[in-house]
């Protein structure tokens, strides 16, 4: 029998979702302001602010997705942790002990880059050794000790988790889980080993780089350029919007494609289509920029 335990999600989802909407909305506002701004200096300032606001979006989006899909699965075979692209399978006989973090007798240092809903990372603790945090709430944290490290997790029903572990531990394991650690970088390596995915991603990035280089070379020598509606003009600096827009599309398609690729089967085809769309979008924007320049 498998017991499924979810991490506390409400606070983390509200915080990360709210920040995601705030940064995305503010970034979109300044991006729109840059499009409408007639002055070259004001355009560059608004664009810079927009880019700074867009920078945290991939991290916030990934950590929100990981929280909403995070789960701790406990059965007679062992403990399986699923958190975004992070996967950890711990055989039952490899678990030395489990106890609440509040009962270890000292203040447990937490990862540096953390917030409610995303307490993730590693710390070296003198009393415990290497501690890996895969948790969303420090107040309900449990420590799971294995021979090589300690995992800090946070099932919402901590008492139920402890009771379930006691039961499965008394019953013993018939077919222990195969110990496995999968990190995001390992998954990215798998995508890179797929020749179709690798060349589609490289192609999209390469076209975007050509677009950026071409625009960067052309902008200093441009005066007024044709813009949006027929007969209207704008400062040459606005051409920078094209590589910025292409970069945003490439990053979004890359992230969503990674999540689809992980599902396997037909979802991999959807990932390839997204990555191919990024390359096609770059080509179309490159052609558009050349048409404006020349």
Tokens, residue 70: 């995070």
- Report the DSSP pairing between strands 233-235 and 119-125: unpaired
- Look at residue 134 and tell me whether its pLDDT is greater than 90: yes
**Across all residues in the chain, what is the average pLDDT?**
88
Residue-level pLDDT at 142: 95
Phi, psi for 6 (deg, rounded to 5): -100, 150
pLDDT at 39: 64
Answer yes or no: is pLDDT of 4 > 80: yes
pLDDT (tens digit, 9 = 90+) per residue, 12-34?
999 999 999 999 999 999 988 88
Q: What is the DSSP letter of 177?
A: P
Query: Could you read off the pLDDT of 52-94 as tens digits, one per residue?
Result: 999 899 899 999 999 999 999 999 899 999 998 889 999 998 9
The pLDDT score that the predictor gives to residue 53 is 93
Q: What is the DSSP letter of 95?
A: -
Helical spans, DSSP H, in the chain:
10-36, 40-54, 57-69, 158-171, 184-193, 195-218, 241-263, 266-293
Mean local confidence (pLDDT), 155-179: 87
DSSP 174: S
The beta-carbon contacts of 124-127 under 8 Å, at least 24 apart in sequence, are 125/150
Q: Does the residue 50 lie in any domain?
A: no
- Rg, the chain, Cα only: 24
Q: Would you state the pLDDT for residue 67? A: 94
Calpha distance 255→249 (Å, rounded):
10
| Cα dihedral sign, 205-207-212-217 | positive
Q: Residue 149 is encoded by which pair of tokens? A: 């490290």
User: How much is the pLDDT for 172?
Assistant: 79
Domain assignment present for 275: yes
Domain count along the chain? 1
**Region 178-196: what's the mean pLDDT?**
83
The answer to whether position 177 is within a domain reads no
Residue that wins the pLDDT comparison between 270 and 190? 270
- Which pLDDT does position 7 carry in this prediction? 95
Nearest to 275 by CA among 154, 191, 210: 191
Q: How many residues does the chain have?
A: 294
CA angle 228, 231, 234 (to 5 degrees): 55
Per-residue exposure over 136-162, b if at least 16 CB sit within 10 Å of its own CB, e if not: bbbebbbbbbbeeebbbbbbbebeebe
User: Predicted confidence band at 38 (pLDDT cuts at 50, 70, 90)?
Assistant: low
Q: Give the integer Cα–Cα distance in Å for 66 and 83.
A: 5
Quote the CA–CA distance of 271 and 95 in Å, as a whole number: 37
Distance CA 17, CA 93 (A): 38
Q: Is residue 291 part of a domain?
A: yes
SS3 157: coil
Q: Is the pLDDT of residue 117 over 80?
A: yes
Range of 221's domain?
Answer: 183-294
Q: Is residue 234 part of a domain?
A: yes
Q: Which pLDDT belongs to residue 36?
A: 77
For residue range 210-237, list pLDDT tens digits in order: 998 888 888 777 777 776 666 667 777 7
In a domain, 102, yes or no: no
Percent of the chain with pLDDT over 70: 96
What pLDDT, on a 0 to 100 scale, did the predictor assign at position 231?
64
CA distances from 47 to 60, 153, 231 (A): 21, 40, 24
Question: How many alpha carbons lie under 13 Å from residue 95 in its C-beta half-sphere?
Answer: 30
Cα separation of 7 and 60, whole Å? Answer: 17
- Is residue 228 in some structural domain? yes
Q: What is the pLDDT of residues 246-284, one digit of tens each?
A: 988 998 899 888 888 877 777 889 899 999 999 999 999
Q: How far apart are CA 181 and CA 90, in angstroms?
A: 9
Question: Does 33 reside within a domain?
Answer: no
Residues 234-243, mean pLDDT to the nearest whole number: 80
């Amino acid at each position: 029998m498998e017991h499924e335990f979810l991490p506390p999600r409400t606070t983390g989802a509200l915080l990360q979702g709210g920040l995601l909407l705030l940064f995305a909305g503010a970034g979109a506002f300044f991006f729109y302001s840059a499009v409408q701004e007639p002055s070259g200096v004001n355009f560059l300032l608004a664009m810079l602010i927009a880019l700074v606001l867009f920078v945290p979006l991939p991290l916030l989006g990934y950590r929100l997705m990981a929280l909403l899909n995070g789960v701790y699965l406990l059965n007679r075979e062992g403990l399986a942790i699923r958190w975004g692209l992070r996967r950890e399978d711990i055989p039952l006989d490899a678990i030395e002990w489990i106890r609440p973090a509040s009962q270890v007798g000292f203040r447990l240092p937490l990862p540096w880059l953390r917030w409610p809903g995303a307490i993730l990372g590693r710390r070296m603790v003198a009393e415990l050794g290497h501690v890996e945090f895969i948790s969303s709430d420090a107040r309900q944290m449990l420590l799971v000790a294995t021979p090589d490290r300690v995992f800090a997790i946070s099932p919402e029903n901590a008492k139920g988790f402890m009771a379930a572990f006691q039961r499965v531990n008394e019953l013993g394991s018939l077919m222990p889980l195969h110990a496995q650690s999968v990190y995001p970088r390992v998954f990215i390596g798998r995508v890179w080993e797929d020749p179709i995915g690798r060349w589609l991603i490289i192609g999209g990035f390469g076209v975007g780089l050509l677009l950026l280089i071409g625009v960067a070379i052309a902008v200093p020598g441009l005066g007024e350029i044709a813009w949006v509606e027929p007969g209207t003009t704008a400062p040459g600096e606005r051409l920078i919007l094209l590589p910025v827009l292409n970069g945003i599309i490439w990053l979004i398609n890359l992230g969503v494609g990674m999540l689809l690729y992980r599902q396997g089967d037909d979802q991999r085809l959807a990932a390839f289509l997204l990555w191919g769309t990024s390359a096609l979008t770059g080509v179309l924007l490159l052609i558009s920029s050349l048409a404006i320049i020349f």
